[in-house]
Amino acid sequence: MQDFIIAENIVKRFAEHTALDGVSIRVPRGKVFGLLGPNGAGKTTLIRIINHITMPDEGTVTFDGHDLRADDMLSIGYLPEERGLYKKMKVGEQAIYLARLKGLSEHEARRRLKIWFEKLGIMGWWNRKLEELSKGMQQKVQFIITILHEPPLLIFDEPFSGFDPVNAEILKKEILELRDKGHTILFSTHNMSSVEEICDDIALINHSKVVLQGPVDEIRERYKNNTYRVTIPAQVSFFEQSVCEVLGEETKGKEKVLTVRKPEGETNSQLLSHLAEQVEILGFEECLPSMNDIFIRVVADNELH
Amino acid sequence: MSKIWIIIQREFSVRVKKKSFIILTILMPFLVAALVFVPALLANMKSGEKNTVALIDVTNHYVSVLKDTTDIHFVYETTMKKSFQQDGSPYDAVVFIKGDLTHHPDAATIYSRGEVPHAVEEYVNDKLTEKIRNDKLSAYQFKDIKQVVADAETKFSVKTARWDKNGNTTVSSSDIAGVVGLVFSLFIYMFILSYGGMVMQGIVEEKTNRIVEIMVSSVKPWQLMIGKITGVALVGLFQFVIWILMLTSIVAIAGSVFGVASTGAMPMVGGMSSEIPQVAGLEWLHIIQGMNFVEIIVLFILYFIGGYLLFASIFAAIGASINEQQDAQQFMMPIVLIFIFALYAGMFSIQNPDGPLALWCSFIPFTSPVVMMVRVPFDLPLWQIILSLVVLYGTSALIIWFSSKIYRVGILMYGKKPTFKDMMKWLNYK
C-alpha cells in the first residue's frame, strides 16, 4: 500500500538556524503516525510544510501520490498546538465560517455541525460567544472544526494538552475511530504514553534531524534488552542468582515482582523451567522498554554525538 | 477567489454588527447636524429674559442714545440709592454716568450685584461709542461731517466669478472652495487612519488569538490579508454612504422644520463658519450649487480607496510583525507624522492651490489623498488628477505586494519583536 505522505530531504532554514536538515518521513495510509521530539526540534516547522503553510527550501512532499499543492489544504484538517478561535464570535457562526473556508457549503456545514455538537454535548452553546465557553469546551469546538470536512489527512499537534482525563479519553476514542474509518492521522506530541496507546508508527526528530523512525512495535522490540518481569509469592526470600541476574525487586501485598535479565542464548521456556524449579511462578512477562525510555535514551545518545 | 469572498463577508459583517459601529454611524450625522444647527438656532433665538437697568445720567447728555431694546428696559433714576445694592432691588444693573465722556472716558460705570449682563455691557458700549464719536466729529464743526463719515464707512468684499468651459460665469469663492476642500480632506484623513488602524487591530487580534494558524491552514496568507483589507474598506464606504445620505436628509428636514436657511447652514458643516464671513447670505446657495459635488464625492471615494489600500497594507504588515497592540507605537509614529505633514500641506494649499508644494504633494502617494481633497474644489486640470491617481494606485499595488510578503512570515512569528531589518529579510523567505 502506498504511503499517504512522503517527505523527502526537507531542508528549511531561517535567518539564525536550520529548522529542518534533510528530514524524510513516510506516513502510511490509514495509520496513526506519531511525530515525536523535544521542544524546538522542528516538529511544528515540518507540520507547517506538510500543511502547505510554509515552503521548504529544499526537498519534496508527496501528498496522496502527487506533489503537494495549494488545494491539498482542503484535504487536511489541522489542529495546531496553540489553540485559538475568534473570541468575540458566536460558536456556531464561527464553526460554519471555518468550515466554508475548507470548502463545505454553508448548508452542509450546518448539518454536520449539528450532528457533532449533539454528539459531544455542546449544542446549547451554539449561539454563545466563544469567550463564554470553558477551556475544555473550546477545545471540543476546535476539534470538531478540525475534522468537520472529513479530510483524508488529519494533523493533531499536541491534541491532549488542555483536556481533562475524561475528555482526553473521549478524544482518544474519536481519533481511533477516525483511523478505523480510513483517515490518516499525523500526531505530534511529547506525551509518550499516548504514543504507545494510539500510534502505529513514529518518527523521532531531534536537532532538525530524524533520529529514529518505524512502527512502534518494531522499535520497542529493537530496544528491548532481555529483561523480564517475574511475579512470585512474597514469602519466598531465597533466590539462586545463578539462574539469572536479578535487576530489581518490588513487593506488592502478597506478591513480589522481580525484574530479571535472561542469560544470553537461553529461550523463555528454558528460563521459566529453571525458575520453576525454585519457586512458584505467578506471572511472567517480557519488559518492553516504554516509549518514554526509548525517547530519553535516543535523545541523550544523540546529544553525546 | 471564493475564499476571499467568504473572508470579506465575515470581516464586513462582524464589524457592521458591532454595537459601537451602529451607534457611531447613526449618531454621527446628528452630532454634525447639531454642531451646525444649534449655534444657528441659538443665535436666532432671543434670550427671552429681559434686563431691567437703572440709568443715572448726571450730564443728561446720553439719555437719548440709551433706549429700550427687546432685551433691555431702561428706567431713568436721578440719584444712586443704597437700595439698588440690595437683593430686593428691581434692577439687574445700574448704569451710572457722572460726567462728560468725551473728555473723561472713565466717568461711566455699570454696577451689578452679580456679573454684569453681557448684552447690557455690549449695548451700552456700542451706543456710547457711537455717541462719543459723533460728539467728537461735531466738535470739528465741519459742515455735514456726519454724512461724509457715514458715506466713507463701507465694507467691501470683491465678487469673484469663474468662467466654465462654455464661457458662462458662475459665482465662486476661494474661501468656500477652501473650506469644502478642507472638510473633505479631514474626512479622508480620519477615514484612512481609523480604518487602516482597524485592519492592524484585526490582524494583531488574530495573531494573539492564534487563530491565524488555523486560517493559514485553510487559505493562503495573502488571501487572508486582501480579504481583511477589502472587508474593512467596505465597512468604511458603507459608513460614508450612510453618513452622506443621513446628513443630506437631516439638513433638508431640519432646515425646513426650524426655518434655519439651509443656505446658511451648509457651509458650516464641520464648524468652519467663522472662516467665511465675507460672503453675503444668499450668495452661498449659488456658490455651493456652482460646485460639482458629484465630482468631489467620486474623487473622495477614489482617493479614499487608493490611500486606504496604501496605508492599510502598511498597517497590515506592521500588525503581522508585532505581538501586542502596544508594540505598534514605534511603527505608527512615522505614519502619523506623514499624515500630519499632509494635513499641513493641504492647509497651505488653500492659500495657493496651484503652488509648487501643493503640486508636488499631489503626486506623492503618501500625501496625495489628503492634499488632493483640498485642491479638488478649485477645479484642477484633469491630467493632474489622473497622474496623481495612477501614481497612488501603482504605489498601493507595490506596497500591497511587499506587505503580503512580510505579513505571510510575520503572522507565524512569535516571541521577540522584529526589527525593520528582520522584516526586510522576510521578503526573501520562500
User: Secondary structure of chain A in the HEC alphabet?
Assistant: CCEEEEEEEEEEECCCCEEEEEEEEEEECCCEEEEECCCCCCHHHHHHHHCCCCCCCEEEEEECCEECCHHHHHHEEEECCCCCCCCCCEHHHHHHHHHHHCCCCHHHHHHHHHHHHHHCCCHHHCCCEHHHCCHHHHHHHHHHHHHCCCCCEEEEECCCCCCCHHHHHHHHHHHHHHHHCCCEEEEEECCHHHHHHHCCEEEEEECCEEEEEEEHHHHHHHCCCCEEEEEEECCCCCCCCCCCEEEEEEEECCEEEEEEECCCCCCHHHHHHHHHHHCCCCEEEECCCCHHHHHHHHHHHHHHC
Q: Does B133 touch chain A (CB under 8 A)?
A: no
d(CA B303, CA B346): 14
A window 11-30, beta carbon within 8 A of B: 15
In chain A, residues with a C-beta closer than 8 Å to the C-beta of B203 are none
Whether residues B117 and B227 fall in one domain? no
Domain with A247 in it: what CATH number? 3.30.70
Q: Which three cell numbers stand for residue B317?
A: 504588515
Inform me whether the pLDDT recorded for B126 exceeds 70: yes
Q: Taking residues B172-182, report their average pLDDT.
A: 74
Phi, psi of B184 (to 5 degrees): -65, -35
* Inter-residue contact A153 to A5 (CB < 8 Å): yes
Same domain, B129 and B188: no
For range B323-334, the mean pLDDT: 82
Phi and psi angles of residue A95, each rounded to the nearest 5 degrees, phi first: -65, -40
Q: Does B10 touch chain A (CB under 8 A)?
A: yes
Find the CB nearest B430 among A15, A51, A55. Answer: A55
Q: What is the pLDDT of residues B269-279, one digit of tens each?
A: 433 443 344 44
Last residue of a domain, one of B124, B152, B180: B152
CATH number at residue A125: 3.40.50.300
A25 shares its domain with A124: yes
Domain end: A176, A199, A221, which one?
A221
Q: Is residue B161 part of a domain?
A: no
**Joined grid coordinates for residue A106:** 454553508
Q: What is the pLDDT of residue B388?
A: 94
Residue B375 has pLDDT above 60, yes or no: yes
Cell of B141: 464743526
Q: Which residues of B touch A76 (CB under 8 A)?
A: 217
B209 touching A (Cβ < 8 Å): yes
Are both A163 and A270 inside the same structural domain?
no
Contacts with B14 from chain A: Cβ below 8 Å: 86, 88-89
The reply to whether B190 and B148 lie within a common domain is no
Alpha carbon distance B63, B108 (integer Å): 13
Of A69-78, B173-182, B387-396, the range with the highest mean pLDDT is: B387-396
End-to-end CA, chain B: 22
Of the candidates B208, B278, B232, the one whose C-alpha atom is nearest the C-alpha of residue B21 is: B232
Asked if A48's CB is within 8 angstroms of B209's CB, the reply is no
Domain count of the fold of chain A: 2
Average pLDDT over residues B299-326: 90
**CA distances from residue A66 to A2, A4, A221, B142, B323 in whole angstroms, order as listed:** 12, 10, 34, 110, 37
Collapse the DSSP code of B278 into the 3-class scheme (helix H, G, I; strand E, B; otherwise coil) and give the result. coil
Q: Note the Cα A30 to chain centre separation in Å.
A: 14
Q: Residue A34's beta-bridge partner residues? A: A187, A202
CATH number for B80: 3.40.190.10
Q: Are residues B278 and B187 in the same domain?
A: yes
The answer to whether residue B254 scores a pLDDT higher than 80 is: no
Q: Inform me whether the pLDDT recorded for B309 exceeds 90.
A: yes
Residues B232 and B95 in one domain: no
Tell me which residue range forms the domain holding B103: 51-152
In a domain, A180, yes or no: yes
Closest-CA residue of A relative to B220 is A53
Instruction: Answer whether A84 sits within 8 Å of B218, measured CB to CB.
Output: no
Q: Cα(B180)–Cα(B375) distance, rounded to whole angstroms?
A: 10
Among partner residues A15, A73, A82, which is closest to B218 by beta-carbon distance?
A73
Domain boundary among B152, B184, B205: B152
Q: How many structural domains comprise chain B?
A: 2
Q: Do B210 and A80 touch (CB under 8 A)?
A: yes
pTM of the model: 0.75
Is residue A78 within 8 angstroms of chain B, CB to CB? yes
Interface membership of B430 toward A (CB under 8 Å) = yes
In a domain, B157, yes or no: no
- Is A80–B214 a contact, with Cβ atoms under 8 angstroms apart? yes
Which among A246, A208, A254 has a CA at the least distance from the CA of A14?
A: A208
Domain range for A256: 225-287
Nearest to B217 among A51, A57, A100 (CB): A51
pLDDT at A178: 92
Are B137 and B211 found together in one domain?
no
User: Is A57 near chain B, with CB under 8 Å?
Assistant: yes
Burial class (CB in 10 A: 0-12, 13-18, 19+), B346: buried
Give the mean pLDDT of chain B: 81
Domain annotation covers residue A297? no
B166 within domain boundaries: no
Q: Does A138 lie in the same domain as A85?
A: yes
Minimal-distance CA residue of chain B relative to A100? B6
Considering only CB atoms, which chain B residues are within 8 Å of A97? 6, 10
Structural contact between residues A35 and A206, judged by C-beta atoms closer than 8 angstroms: no
Please indicate, yes or no, whether residues A208 and A168 belong to a single structural domain of this protein.
yes
Q: How far is CA B180 from the centre of its chain?
A: 9
Cell of B34: 447639531
Low-confidence ranges of chain A (pLDDT < 50): none
Query: Which of A144, A77, A139, A87 minimizes the C-alpha distance to A110?
Result: A144
Which chain B residues are closer than 8 Å to A83 by Cβ? 210
Residues B20-40 have pLDDT tens digits of: 999 999 998 888 878 777 776
Confidence of residue B177 (pLDDT cuts 50, 70, 90): confident
Domain boundary among A187, A221, A255: A221
In this structure, is residue B44 part of a structural domain?
no
Q: Check whether residue B337 and residue B261 sit in a common domain.
A: yes
A125 shares a domain with A95: yes
Helices (H), B210-292: 211-215, 221-258, 262-265, 283-290
By C-alpha distance, the chain B residue nearest A16 is B422
| Percent of all residues in chain B with a pLDDT value above 90, rounded to a whole number | 26
- Least Cα separation, residue B209 to chain A (angstroms): 5
Statement to judge: residues B410 and B284 lie in one domain: yes
Same domain, B264 and B213: yes
Instruction: Answer yes or no: do A129 and A231 share one domain.
Output: no
Q: Rounded mean pLDDT of B266-295?
A: 52
**What is the distance in angstroms between the Cα of A223 and the nearest Cα belonging to chain B?**
37
